[in-house]
Amino acid sequence: QSALTQPASVSGSPGQSITLSCTGTSSDVGNYNYVSWYQHHPGKAPKLMIHDVSNRPSGVSDRFSGSKSGNTASLTISGLQAEDEADYYCSSYTSSSIWVFGGGTKLTVL
């Protein structure tokens, strides 16, 4: 069981918007704005998509956005494209001075 809870799978059609959730506790997501999201295509290195809840690194499409409410962080992908099909992981810093991750969400573009 992962420290952060993510839905196992989400699907959407090209052009749609989808939102992935990441639920933690008051000891991690709820207490720190240090939530990041990573995109992982199997066999490749995971790629940073969002950091500090809602900040997008240079080079990442503005179709990706992040937010947080209470103990739940969210990643929204708008204008879904085939290349967005991948696994997505969230992570958070914790009050135990370690980092925790979610179990990952497999995004399928129909």
Q: Which stretch in 12-20, 33-41, 68-76, 78-86 sits in contact with another protein by CB under 8 A?
A: 33-41
Q: Which stretch in 11-19, 23-31, 40-48, 69-77 sits in contact with another protein by CB under 8 A?
A: 40-48
Cα separation, 88 vs 80, whole angstroms: 14
Amino acid of residue 91: S
Mention every residue, 6+ apart, whose C-beta is less than 8 A from residue 87.
39, 40, 41, 42, 104, 105, 106, 107
Question: Is 16 or 41 the residue whose CB approaches another protein more closely?
Answer: 41
User: Which residue from 45, 54, 51, 102 is spatially nearest to 76, judged by alpha carbons?
Assistant: 54
29, 4 contact by CB (below 8 A)? yes
Q: Does 101 bind another protein (CB under 8 A)?
A: yes
Q: Does 38 bind another protein (CB under 8 A)?
A: yes
Q: Does 59 bind another protein (CB under 8 A)?
A: no
Under the rule (CB under 8 A), what is the footprint of another protein? 2-4, 6, 34, 36, 38, 43-48, 51-52, 55, 57, 89, 91, 93, 96-104
